[in-house]
Structure 1
Amino acid sequence: MVYFPEEVVEYILGFLTSHRDRNAVSLVCRSWYHVERLSRRSVLVCNCYAVRPEFVHARFPRLRSLSVKGKPRFADFGLVPAGWGATAEPWVEACAAECPGLEELRLKRMVVSDECLRLLACSFPNFRSLVLVCCEGFSTDGLAAVATSCRFIKELELHESLVEDRGSHWLECFPKPSTLLESLNFSCLTGEVNGHALEKLVARSPNLRSLRLNRSVPLDVLARILSHTHRLVDLCTGSFVRGNIADAYSGLFNGFQHCSLLKGLSGLWDATSWFIPVIFPVCKNLTCLNLSYAPMVRSTYLIEFIRHCKKLRHLWVLDHIGDGGLKIVASSCVELEELRVFPANADVRASTAVTEEGLVSISAGCDKLQYVLYFCQRMTNSALITVAKNCPRLKSFRLCIIKPGSPDAVTGQSMDEGFGAIVHSCKGLRRLSLSGLLTDIVFLYIGMYAERLEMLSVAFAGDTDDGMTYVLNGCKNLKKLEIRDSPFGDSALLAGMHKYEALRSLSMSSCNVTLGGCKSLAATMPSLNVEVMNEAVSIDEADENTNNAKVEKVYIYRTVAGPRGDAPEFISIV
């Protein structure tokens, strides 16, 4: 082996931006481990309980950007009880003590307090970016502390977070006379916004490229804002039914005419068909369009607008666009890479506007398609086989048939062959969510063919423990496995012990796993944390009946930190 000076190795590693690649090169030899350790500036922690914060700083003493994920993904579906944990304080406190040069912090599904944000604001003099995704526990007072003390802030994003509204005074706390803001996202805030303060903030932020407003920003305020933001690349509009609508219409049209750089558009809350012509000036350059918040716009108007968006790569729509609308999308947006179709009706069972025909049309016209999320009432194996044939580049395929356990809508058979075609033809598939009537056969196909699959979500599927065993014996790159309302039990759970060291996490809810099975796994593999969430069952080694009781939820993940010390009463770490 040729040995390079450490300076050369560091220069080479500088071209590696992927966390996975950096981790891999650190395993080559001791010298490369040392160089990679000291040169790493960005660190991703996929589970806040998998490692202690002080270990991260000891390993990477010069990090400048830290990303931490907290609660498991099934928290998005209400499957994690309130008070589960994932508080951000230990991470921010460790950064404040060990890493005063921190510039970026990204937290996902974590509990962030106002005190935590105040500590962050006063601890890092060069702090530039704060991104909170699906977080909770803080208020606009915490945002005010960040805006006041972080004088070099460039990015403040609150994506789908729960924020307690204590007024919009925080908008007035950013630096004066000008800011370095490049991205501001408060679309998740539910309270009123001071339109005058918002306008002044935007006016003194010449570098602003991404602006995502919440639903309470009136239309006339948006119209005036657009006169200051001709360099916007991404915009989430406010409400289209608030403010002086008549006067705002012409101003909004003129404002959009000057937004020649705009590539991403979302929001359009409560917009009606009357407003669609207003946004026509920007459609020719759009690459990302999110229409999932505009249920009141008639599908004919949406389709006409989409037809002019020739450069679209990412499209989010509601299912009232219909199969016919998706057919037109397929013929107009040939560069499409991502499609998400959501139910327009709050009662998803009443949504019947799209079927397998729409998905087939999209696959026929958009052969570059890589990411699909599709809610529908019915699906067939032949449709999925056609999709697999037309779109071999698929990396993520998430299909939700509204009624659990629905068979092939034409033949009445299981959906095994359709999903089997997806995993067989789409060699680069990394994420898969199953839906419909499925037997153990589909899991056999997944284990055999889904070699690059990293995340699998299963619900209401399978016959026996063999199904889960097929997946665990195959899928050599699997990182996350989520299972709910399926018949898999202890035999399947214990059959995967050889896999759990490589698996990042496994979550099971409403399955046939018992407390005894969880104990057996934990005793055999001390490197795992096995968390049982079941308020009705207490752990008692001497009680055989308790060991035979089914657990409601179990969350299993690898860790080098040992059992966590902040587990609430309803969680037992066995």
Structure 2
Amino acid sequence: MRGHDRINTCLPDELLVEIFRRLDSKPSRDACSLVCKRWLNLERLSRSTLRIGASGSPDHFVKLITRCFVNVRTVHVDERLSLPAQLGRRFGSESFRPSPKLRYVKEKAGSEDSEFETSYISDAGLTVLGEGFSKLEKLSLIWCNNVSSMGLVSIAQKCRSLKSLDLQGCYVGDPGLAAVGECCRQLEDLNLRFCEGLSDKGMVELALGCGKSLKSLGVAACAKITDISLEAVGSHCKSLETLSLDSEYISNKGLLAVAKGCPLLKVLKLHSVNVTDEALAAVGTGCSLLELLALYSLQRFTDKGLQAIGNGCKKLKNLTLSDCYFLSDKGLEAIATGCKELTHLEVNGCHNIGTMGLESIGKSCQQLTELALLFCQKIGNNALLEVGRGCKLLQALHLVDCSGIGDEGICGIARGCRKLKKLHIRRCYEIGNKGIVAIGEYCKSLMDLSLRFCDRVGDEALVAIGQGCSLQHLNVSGCHQIGDAGIIAIARGCPQLSYLDVSVLQNLGDMAMAELGEGCPLLKEILLSHCRQITDVGISHLVKNCTLLESCHMVYCPGITAAGVATMVSGCANMKKVLVEKWKVSQRTKRRAGPVISYLCMDL
């Protein structure tokens, strides 16, 4: 019956709260909160996650939100993000939407002439947070400069159900970490990256307190955390599954303790100049459940260590080798022989790994789904031919500065890896039309193609792609042989295209823009910088039907004037960012869409 409120009459509070929790769309939840006061209050009860940025007074916002949202379990505080003051009154939203800010001005405490309130959450704010959200399970404090051990002690004492704690960039000390160990006996995930105030004393007390529950630990740039801390982790954290270490103060002694004491370790990310084959051998022997291994800049690490990993870690699925100069084909062959379940492999800057090593991967690792080869000058076409023959499940291939790989290798991938969805190539100057034409002919599932600064790729390649694939993302920046014909083929063959980068294409003109406007109505982001032939006419054709556009870069386009900028801004209601030279923005456009405009050069 019209005018009769059947929902509020029949449905109990508990059912409405559950309905609100199951709504995936944030705008839908916000709309529900505006129906009536009852729905507003119940919708607040359904909120479990809050995000708080900087600016204004975060401590004040904390006081307000703790009164409105009583069932919050997760709080993210990130002081790299700003919080517009007007959002302080919008308590119906789950997160206060932030906008990026590189640096904030911190006013001196107690200054009478200060125009702005401090934009950093303090220990007092953390105290209020702990009192208001005593059931808190996840807390992230990212680069919170004013937070000290005092605030962390308050959180630890009041939020004893805490399971995840991220302190990245916070200058907290040992007393705070010790309190976490003593009070938060359910803690599973701890991130201490860039926590320069911590030392071994705090880490040891943490391991003694909550070592039994700890499953994930991250440490980076903590000069006072040494092998002593890792020995404590190895002794008390028997359930540890993930360890990320980036430190020049960690050596074999610490990692040996972890390898012997943490048999459940599944993820190990290591960046340390002091670790040698001895430590990696211990990981291979003691961590048989290891699934992900990432090794960065290990200058004293050789094939012997990688062979130990291949012999012992049979469940390894994801391997990253970056700037490990003393590795050769023998090490990669050991991985191929021992780790048959490998699905992801990245080789970056390991200059002694060549064709033979990757051939062994192609022959033995049939489950491989993603392969990245960066700055691998010794890897040639035969390697990719073997990958094409053996890795039929490959879905993503990344190639950067691989001078030995050309069309022959890409054709091998195209013929063998028919499930390929993503192909990213940058500065591989031996790859031309032939290889990309083969991709268009055989890889019908391709959705993401990036060909950056590939001098030999032209319109013929994109015609084949347009006829054979339905791309969603395309980047051909710097491919100077591509012109209107290639982009027109994409526009006609890829109606699902949402991202396009055609920067530095000197032969691209308005005809291609008109075709994109007609054929790609879902386009959201386009980069046109350094395209000298595109004019205001092309921009008008583009925005006519591409009404979903959100971002456009068009600096150094002499044919685009202030009128073209105005057309772009006025024709796209969803526009969030237009990057352009400042002198091309008229006063009217600035008044109409000032927050949307980004300038190439800011006034100093």
If the TM-score is normalised by the length of the shorter chain, which range does it land in?
A: 0.5 to 0.7
Q: In structure 2, how many angstroms separate the alpha carbons of the residues matched to 1:506 and 1:230?
A: 50
Residue equivalent to 1:366? 391
How big is the shift at 1:413? Answer: 5.5
How big is the shift at 1:467? Answer: 4.1
SS in 2 for 1:414: coil
How big is the shift at 1:439? Answer: 2.8
Q: In structure 1, how many angstroms separate the alpha carbons of the residues matched to 2:32 and 2:101?
A: 42
How big is the shift at 1:181? Answer: 2.5
Q: Which has the larger radius of gyration?
A: 2
Give yes or no for the alignment of 1:205 onto 2:230.
Answer: no
Relative distance call for 1:356 and 1:450 in structure 2 (3 A) is farther
SS in 2 for 1:284: coil
Residue equivalent to 1:401? 427
How big is the shift at 1:116? Answer: 5.9
Gaps of 5+ in 1: 72-81, 345-351, 548-553
Give yes or no for the alignment of 1:440 onto 2:484.
Answer: yes
Contact 1:407 1:414 in 2 (8 A): yes
Give yes or no for the alignment of 1:316 onto 2:381.
Answer: no
Taking the TM superposition and a 5 Å limit, the aligned residue runs for 1:421-570 are 421=464, 425=468, 431-434=473-476, 436=479, 437-461=481-505, 463-467=508-512, 470-471=515-516, 473-475=518-520, 477-482=522-527, 485-487=530-532, 490-497=536-543, 502-508=548-554, 511-512=557-558, 517-522=564-569, 528-530=575-577, 532=579, 537=582, 541=586, 563=595
Percent identity reads 21
SS in 2 for 1:262: coil
How big is the shift at 1:446? Answer: 3.6
Residue equivalent to 1:414? 457
Give yes or no for the alignment of 1:262 onto 2:294.
Answer: no
SS in 2 for 1:235: strand
Residue equivalent to 2:111? none
In the superposition, the TM-score normalised over structure 1's length comes to 0.68
How big is the shift at 1:148? Answer: 5.2
Give yes or no for the alignment of 1:281 onto 2:316.
Answer: no
Q: In structure 2, how many angstroms separate the alpha carbons of the residues matched to 1:260 and 1:291?
A: 19
Residue equivalent to 2:90? none
**Per-residue deviation, residues 32-70 of structure 1 (Å, max 9, x unmatched):** x9888864545799x999xx998x979988554467997
What letter is aligned with 1:283? C
**Per-residue deviation, residues 508-563 of structure 1 (Å, max 9, x unmatched):** 555555566435544565764446576xx5688589xxx9xxxxxx9xxxx9xx93
Residue equivalent to 2:256? 223
Relative distance call for 1:263 and 1:443 in structure 2 (3 A) is same
Q: In structure 2, how many angstroms separate the alpha carbons of the residues matched to 1:471 and 1:205?
A: 56
**Per-residue deviation, residues 311-363 of structure 1 (Å, max 9, x unmatched):** 0111111364334433331221111111111115xxxxxxx334565445434
Give yes or no for the alignment of 1:129 onto 2:164.
Answer: yes
Contact 1:384 1:422 in 2 (8 A): no
How big is the shift at 1:182? Answer: 1.8
| Two-structure CA RMSD over aligned residues (Å) | 5.4
Contact 2:551 2:577 in 1 (8 A): no
Relative distance call for 1:166 and 1:432 in structure 2 (3 A) is farther
Gaps of 5+ in 2: 1-6, 82-99, 107-117, 438-454
* Comparing 5-14 and 285-294, the one that deviates more: 5-14
Contact 2:265 2:290 in 1 (8 A): yes
Residue equivalent to 2:274? 242
SS in 1 for 2:146: helix
Q: In structure 2, how many angstroms separate the alpha carbons of the residues matched to 1:63 and 1:104?
A: 10
Q: In structure 2, how many angstroms separate the alpha carbons of the residues matched to 1:507 and 1:397?
A: 23
Give yes or no for the alignment of 1:307 onto 2:340.
Answer: no
Q: In structure 2, how many angstroms separate the alpha carbons of the residues matched to 1:465 and 1:421?
A: 22
The match for 1:253 among 251, 259, 281 is 281
Q: In structure 1, how many angstroms separate the alpha carbons of the residues matched to 2:140 and 2:203?
A: 21
How big is the shift at 1:184? Answer: 1.5
Taking the TM superposition and a 5 Å limit, the aligned residue runs for 1:37-186 are 39=46, 41=48, 64-65=73-74, 84=102, 100=133, 103-104=137-138, 112-115=143-146, 121=152, 125=159, 127-130=162-165, 138=169, 141-142=171-172, 147=177, 150=180, 152=184, 153-157=187-191, 163=194, 165=196, 168=199, 171-172=203-204, 174=206, 176-179=208-211, 180-186=213-219
Q: In structure 2, how many angstroms separate the alpha carbons of the residues matched to 1:455 and 1:40?
A: 33
How big is the shift at 1:274? Answer: 3.4
How big is the shift at 1:310? Answer: 0.5
Contact 2:504 2:530 in 1 (8 A): yes
Give yes or no for the alignment of 1:339 onto 2:371.
Answer: yes
Structure with larger RCO (C-alpha < 8 A, sep 6+): 1
Q: In structure 2, how many angstroms separate the alpha carbons of the residues matched to 1:482 and 1:117?
A: 43
**Per-residue deviation, residues 198-242 of structure 1 (Å, max 9, x unmatched):** 321443333321001124221232112211111111112353x62
How big is the shift at 1:115? Answer: 2.1
Contact 1:384 1:419 in 2 (8 A): no
What letter is aligned with 2:326? M
How big is the shift at 1:196? Answer: 0.5
SS in 1 for 2:322: coil
SS in 2 for 1:278: helix
SS in 1 for 2:243: strand
What letter is aligned with 2:258? I
Contact 2:498 2:522 in 1 (8 A): yes
Relative distance call for 1:266 and 1:529 in structure 2 (3 A) is closer
What letter is aligned with 1:262? L
**Per-residue deviation, residues 394-445 of structure 1 (Å, max 9, x unmatched):** 4433221256x97548998634444555566555x65554464433344334
How big is the shift at 1:471? Answer: 4.6
How big is the shift at 1:289? Answer: 0.9
Q: How many residues align?
A: 511
